[in-house]
Structure 1
Amino acid sequence: MDRVLKTLGAAHEGSVGVRLADGSEPGPVYFDVGSGSHMPSSTQWHVYDGRFGRPRATVLRGSCSCGWRGMAEYPLDWTTLPKDKPLYEAGIDLSGPIADHEAHLSVIRAAAVQLPAELIDLFTDLVRRLNGLTAQEPLVALKALADLRYIVAQAGEEATNEITAMEVPIEQVAAALGTSEAAARSYLSSYLNF
């Protein structure tokens, strides 16, 4: 997938976040694997189990790479959780934080610009035809994609210039694309540097 499209999508990657007893959100946990310059780390919810000097999570919550954190908190009852086993083996119900992130994504999608039905139909037909060509005539498919790349670059440059001329705020561009401001800036500049 294109680097810019990955960046747009990565702006809202969800995870199960944690908070500590003092209300803070901990940084990554580093794992000492012996000598060497690389020290692996993780921010996965289950590494905050208090073992081996690690911080101990008191609550779980929805989390997103855009900075959003769920308001709902799901307490961890350490009186019933094993203290000598990894937290991921405890059978903890993660459905609450995951559902909260899904709700967050629904809000993001609802705020994004909706494509007209005719354009969605056109894209659907284009994908179907390109898939057929890829299997039957891959050289024709490759040529069509090369032409399409040029069309996309040209239209993207013109749209970016219009957005710049109209002085559309980056917050509005990010909301329309359903991404972060940083990803939206990167996306716009990619059309100017194509």
Structure 2
Amino acid sequence: MGEGGVLVDWDWWTVDFGDAHAGAVGVLVGGGEPGPVYFDVGSGPDVPSTSHWTAYDGRSRRPRAEALRAVCACGWRGAAEYPLDWETIGDQPLYEADVDLAGPLADWTAHLSVVRDAAVPLPERLAALLVEMAEQLNATAADAPLAALRAAGVLERIAARAGRESAGALCDDGMSAEAVATALGTTHSKALVLLLSAQDR
């Protein structure tokens, strides 16, 4: 769930950056981004909503998307707009329409390249170990899920401890949350939480 109970369905995600740079197809209506779409499910305090691009098809009094563009969870928005051809789409729901998303995906991928280039590189040996570990964990999950789950727990604890120690060293060096966010390819708020947590060690 996103902020305020809005269901956020990210279309793209990477292991490198997780939800900090999850990508999606955004919509434009009247030149701007519309708010979330709400679904009428009868009475009750909770009204489900979404901001997924396929919901903006003009059906059931919902706004009709005029164009698509790439968006990222970090707040970045693609400059290129990709108009929707409603004459071709017709009356069908957007989720059933054959809409080409290659443009928004390419724009988001280019954005990730900029983020990746600004991030601190991993040492080659460590990067190779992480790839090997991921492959081994995936194979173990298929053959022995309990063992894989136990291994994941061990890795979480190792990572948490190493993360606290590393963040603590950065705090001692006086590194700013902005610099940490750029180096990690994450958001300012997540970097700040890392640094503040390290101060409690």
Please tell me the TM-score bracket, short chain as reference: 0.7 to 0.9
2:61 corresponds, among 53, 60, 71, to 53
Name the CA shift for 1:189/1:145 in 2 (closer, same or farther; >3 Å): farther
2:23 corresponds, among 14, 33, 50, to 14
1:33 corresponds, among 37, 41, 45, to 41
DSSP 3-state at the match of 2:88: coil
Give how far 1:78 is off: 2.5
DSSP 3-state at the match of 2:18: helix
Name the CA shift for 1:87/1:102 in 2 (closer, same or farther; >3 Å): same
**Are 2:72 and 1:71 equivalent residues in the alignment?**
no
Relative contact order (C-alpha < 8 Å, sep 6+): which is higher? 1
DSSP 3-state at the match of 1:172: helix
**Are 2:99 and 1:92 equivalent residues in the alignment?**
yes
* Paired letter, 2:55: V
In the alignment, the residues of structure 2 paired with residue 52 and residue 141 of structure 1 have an alpha-carbon distance, to the nearest angstrom, of 45
TM-score, scaled relative to structure 2? 0.75
In the alignment, the residues of structure 2 paired with residue 139 and residue 56 of structure 1 have an alpha-carbon distance, to the nearest angstrom, of 47
DSSP 3-state at the match of 2:121: coil
- Structure showing greater radius of gyration is 1
* Paired letter, 1:179: T
1:111 corresponds, among 113, 118, 140, to 118
DSSP 3-state at the match of 1:80: helix
Name the CA shift for 1:34/1:169 in 2 (closer, same or farther; >3 Å): same
- Sequence identity percentage: 52
1:180 corresponds, among 180, 184, 187, to 187
TM-score, scaled relative to structure 1? 0.77
The Cα RMSD (Å) is 3.4
DSSP 3-state at the match of 1:57: coil
Residues 92-144 of structure 1 deviation map (CA, whole Å, 9 limit, x = unaligned): 11111111111111211121111111333454566678889999xx9999998
In the alignment, the residues of structure 2 paired with residue 133 and residue 95 of structure 1 have an alpha-carbon distance, to the nearest angstrom, of 34
Name the CA shift for 1:89/1:190 in 2 (closer, same or farther; >3 Å): same
Contact 1:153–1:191 at 8 Å: present in 2 too?
no
* Paired letter, 2:182: A
Paired residue for 1:3?
A: none
Give how far 1:81 is off: 2.6
Name the CA shift for 1:134/1:16 in 2 (closer, same or farther; >3 Å): closer
2:108 corresponds, among 80, 97, 101, to 101
- What residue ranges of structure 2 are gaps of 5+ in the alignment? 1-14
In the alignment, the residues of structure 1 paired with residue 96 and residue 35 of structure 2 have an alpha-carbon distance, to the nearest angstrom, of 22
Contact 2:171–2:199 at 8 Å: present in 1 too?
no
